[in-house]
Amino acid sequence: MAKHELLCKIGPSVLNSDLSKLYSESERLLKCGADYLHLDVMDGHFVPNITFGHPVVKCLRPKLPGIFLETHMMVSNPEQWIEPSADAGVDQYTFHVEATSDVARVCRKVRESGMKVGIALKPGTDVTAVSGYVDLADMVLVMTVEPGFGGQKFMADMMGKVRWLRRHHPGLDIEVDGGVGLATIDACAEAGANMIVSGTAVIGAEDPSKVIATMRRVVEGHITRGDGDR
């Protein structure tokens, strides 16, 4: 899938926001220039933390008409939550290859439900684990921290995975998530990432609009130059 002109897309992770004001925080991020919202769903089993699930997304959906919502499913049984997520209005369902023994089946089920397909890789998983499934996906997410908690340090050595994916799949949307901000955006963009998840760096900034605009400028510059294709 995803054989199209690459576009830079910035999707703040709302996990780092004030969750008691999730809608107003989401609206604020969109007004600051976010292209989509990245919603971290954790089950306390696949990762050692619990956040929120499809009922919260279902409450947000009518308040955010037309806004692209991606759920990053850090859960042990991703197939279990496909139908509830589709019913909640999720646009892209991103699940981990490590969480299922039948990646292709989950990809098919997600697409049949009407959602876009995202496949995610933990830092310890080799990039070749997704090589046989790229044609079934719309996007591949390369985790640049261990999934489960915000505020971790960016793992620069994950950029090798991004480069490999961009070289072998030039039309693929490649997302990075974890420790991404002004200090690390150039490395991500140079490697070939075009979908940028940023939590603390955006939400904790004095001027989130400026941070988003700066990251967009960096990524678009690298896309124009074709960095990551080599």
First to last CA, the chain: 21
Question: Tokens 């985790």 — which residue?
Answer: 143
> Active-site residue 177, yes or no?
yes
Tokens of 87: 């019913």
Q: Which strand ranges, in their side-by-side order, compose the sheet holding 92-96?
A: 9-12, 195-198, 173-177, 139-143, 116-121, 92-96, 68-74, 36-42
Ramachandran sector of residue 100 (left: φ over 0; alpha: ψ -120 to 50; beta: rest): beta
Q: How far is CA 184 from CA 15, 80, 108, in A?
A: 20, 35, 34
From the candidates 18, 40, 43, 229, which is the catalytic residue? 40
Contact 46, 75 (CB under 8 A): yes
> Active-site residue 186, yes or no?
no
DSSP 209: H
From the candidates 91, 138, 173, 177, which is the catalytic residue? 177
Distance CA 200, CA 190 (A): 21
What SS3 state is found at 203? helix
Positions annotated as catalytic residues are 40, 177
